[in-house]
Structure 1
Amino acid sequence: MTIEKAKPNDDQILTEITKKSKAYWGYSKEQIENWSQFLTVSKEYIETKSVYNLIVEDQIIGYYSFFHESENTIKLDNLFVLPDFIGKGFGKVLMNDFLIRLKDQSVHKVILNSEPNAEEFYSKLGFVKVGQIETSIKDRYMPIMELLIENYKNE
């Protein structure tokens, strides 16, 4: 298992991972297509953001991406794992790697907009819900979560 910087030509596999991972939560094919613009990882995105792939047996099975929201705040923009690997600790592996990368930076806080079904995952790691965003689905809200770096729970 390795984690390495994504290359621009990883765009299609990362888009596939994103869509399959999102569909894991029971969203219809139609809904996934409606969200396609938000679930697509472009070559330009990979070139301009920090994107890291999780590779197991020569296969990219997940990734995360982030960018600076401000001088002291990082936005974790994506963290996705293929459905066959969800619930097996790979999300935590990605999160640990992400936070290690922040160690040498003057970052105090990480923010993210969580998939509602993933809120518990982030909460277990020390993230706290600080707000919510209404989505295109009636009565569905994405939690806005934050983590003060010193509160990270690496259990």
Structure 2
Amino acid sequence: MPTDDESDYLERFGLFFEMAGGNRTAGRMFGWLLISEPPDQSITELAEVLQVSKASVSTVIRQLQQAGFVERVPAPGTRQHRYQVKADGWLQIAQSRIGFLSAGRDLSQLGLKIIGDDPARGERLGEFADFLAFMEKEYGDELVRRWQRYREEGNA
């Protein structure tokens, strides 16, 4: 069971996830996987620590897997699975965000094509397309390269 300080940390991590548009339980679960010992945990262990049902853990852990935050690992000698924070998960998350920006830019370009020469609508949609293109460029490959350099230089 987590200590009082760890419990406070988990609640704060849950709120942090909520502020980012996520699920509080997912935040608490991810927060625990960042500090747990051992680093891999079973569904039963997660349910016990977080004081939620195994069904809840199963649902949320799948969401965290799909988002690239955690991975399922085998538990030697058993048929169980365990879950841990995914190595380089942050990089995959950043790359998925870049893909999201790209998809939004493509969609805004489609919208501009559909509305044609309507200046009022074109201005609003054009600004949105420009913003997404800017964010994609700024948040894109160069950011990933800078992160990799940062890690290689031992700054983290």
TM-score (norm 2): 0.26
Q: Which one has the bigger helix percentage?
A: 2
Q: Which has the higher contact order (CA 8 A, sep 6+)?
A: 1
Name the larger-Rg structure: 2
Q: Which one has the bigger strand percentage?
A: 1
TM-score (norm 1): 0.26
